Structure 1
């Protein structure tokens, strides 16, 4: 009985609009899995295979029909009138055998195992063979791996292989976490053009422009002899008009890199003069895409409250934060340079 019930669950009645018991349509929910499993078994045992894929020193037997169904690359090869359509052996270049084995396994099972070490080989191979689902899986994997340590590398990798959505996500991560990204090895390995393109972005999430300035100095000092001549071009991409006069003055007097570059020193001196004369700025402030949040602190309900909550305007969701150390009502608050400040005149007394 249990076996019969299981079989019934595997059969879904598709056409049930009428009560006609003499005309029905059924869909076998596990049919596709069963066919794929059988095809995989047949490949393993070299049953009805009609093509051999030569990858380096290894040979993989497969079915042209399966390859063509899963990959536009193979479909064009076997149906487009190319000489390979008549061949029983096809040599593939630019793919290592272990990665080809994983891709063939996916074609026959719909499953693929991705690791940090293998993803950098799987994605280019899947792109070459145009196996879209594997490309998507690799992009999802890399998106979940994003961190300040690897975000720049993932963005470059995604751009190289035409993964536009992953490239967008990686760049958004870089913008949002610039303060951490600029401390990593990948940052100092950027080319001059890559660095300028990055620090010119309006969306760069920094509390102060000094973070961008100091990041540029770190980049120059990593290879000062070679990069010192490029400092002026890079410095022009920093929004130095938002540096304070005291900071600019300190840099002109004490920064060894600036002291050795008269053009850079004069550039900062000009900005210093403009700031002290309160001239109108010719550059606009950065506008990072940070969450829009309303904070609600304290309050009064028969007595002062210790609650602290945040409302995200973009997601329309409330979040309960750590309670105030002392219940307060009549609070004032400000958000300054990434720090939430709350203040009050005195502790509120219960209403009489």
Structure 2
């Protein structure tokens, strides 16, 4: 007799079982790709310079449609499919290796990216609207960029809508402009990117004079760029020049092609920088690094510090039990040291001071003892505390607990317990 199957309870109290055949489905897809089972379309790739297709990739309309809305639209609008015969679709100007890798990716979900194929894959993925591959290529490029390659990668990323790579490229150009502007690749940037650079308030550069020279160098690289000269000069912040720097450019061969427009810019800048009674406000400064850290300074971008040549040699949270031995060891091979505090996620130093290592680490011998170096008052009381203050008073009860000019104090406790002070904030 047949076994009765109990009816499920109607009160919804039964528990279900989730069956996951995802890995099995993926294996079946891979078999279809490997064995070319029931393929109904062939991608025929004709690279640039070829008169006929050089590579053909059998595949399935359904699979292409799942991954690419461009292919799906093509199939929906096409009535050329013949039952029992695979339709051939010509792909003009594509890289055969990139198309082959994409077809394999459609079935396996796996793609190997490296320096030799990422640009071709990005171009093909963007052309055929394969979003996940565009994103993957963008992330890869963003991780691989450096000062030498960033200009080329930026142009490619923008051309193929790789937003993450574009964001990282712009961030690197902003923080390392003083190096990137010297590269030949800088001269190949598009006018739209030069405009973005010239209007960027966060640009880290030696001075506005350096920005001017970079812009003029780009304009002089190709004769047809002279059409952009006046617009470029409009974006240079001449009122941020020093009087001496203005004197260095008043006869610049490229800028002088703008005639009276350039002369008016110079005259306005001379008035703004040399006349105390001038009502013109200087334009907003960029992140200029042509200055020396002196006294106690606040909110200095890390990128500016790096541009000055400072290199990080020690970083610990305030909970770490910093010792005098650690401080002396990390500064042993240097003549100058910059001491600072910053939030982990911040691009700026909260406050900092700098000086000669021998003076900054000169031992002090008591709760109220300090000495002056480069506009700050330093102490290094062995086994007690290390730090600086703008005010001529310290109280090393634990960290420096003095309240006078509290915003301008930094203190590290050296007694083995960690903790200290950043401005008015005590950290334990």
TM-score normalised by length of structure 1: 0.72
- The change in CA–CA distance for 1:48 and 1:287 in structure 2 (over 3 A counts) is same
Q: How does 1:117-266 map to 2 (within 5 A)?
A: 117-192=116-191, 194-222=193-221, 231-252=229-250, 255=252, 262-263=259-260, 264-265=262-263
Change (3 A) 1:262 1:189: same
1:229 to partner: Cα distance: 7.3
Q: Secondary structure at the match of 1:59?
A: strand
1:83 aligns with 2:79: yes
Quote the residue 1:272 is aligned against: 270
- 63-72 vs 341-350, greater mean Cα deviation: 341-350
Q: State the alpha-carbon separation in 2 of the partners of residues 52 and 162 from structure 1.
A: 27
**Structure 1 residues 189 and 280, CA, compared in 2 at 3 Å: closer, same or farther?**
farther
CA-based RMSD of the aligned residues comes to 4.3
What pairs up with 1:7-26 in 2 under 5 angstroms? Answer: 24-26=16-18
Q: 1:316 to 1:284 in 2, by over 3 A?
A: closer
* Aligned residues of 1:51 and 1:88 also touching (Cα < 8 A): yes
Cα 1:237/1:142, change in 2 over 3 Å: same
Residue in 1 that maps onto 2:343: 312
* TM-score calculated relative to the size of structure 2: 0.60
1:54 aligns to 2:54 (yes or no): no
Q: How many residues are paired up?
A: 315
Distance in 2 between the 1:118 and 1:59 partners? 19
Q: Provide Cα deviations, 1:23-73, integer angstroms capped at 9, x if missing partner.
A: 541343xx3233223322232222222322222232221223322222223
Query: Which digits, 9 at most, give the CA deviation of each residue in 1:278-328, with x for residues without a partner?
Result: 3244453245594599x99xxxx9999958452226459999x99955256
Aligned-partner Cα distance in 2 for 1:259–1:97 = 50
SS, match of residue 93 in structure 1? strand
Q: Distance in 2 between matches of 1:315 and 1:267?
A: 37
Alignment check: 8 A CA contact 2:301 2:347 kept: no
More displaced stretch, 189-198 vs 267-276: 189-198
**Structure 1 segments unaligned to the other structure (5+ residues):** 1-17, 334-340
Higher helix share: 1
* DSSP-derived class of the 1:52 partner: strand
Deviations 1:61-115 (A, max 9, x none): 122332222222333334x252255572131323232111100110111111122
For 1:112 and 1:34, locate their aligned partners in 2 and report how far apart those are by CA, in whole Å. Answer: 20
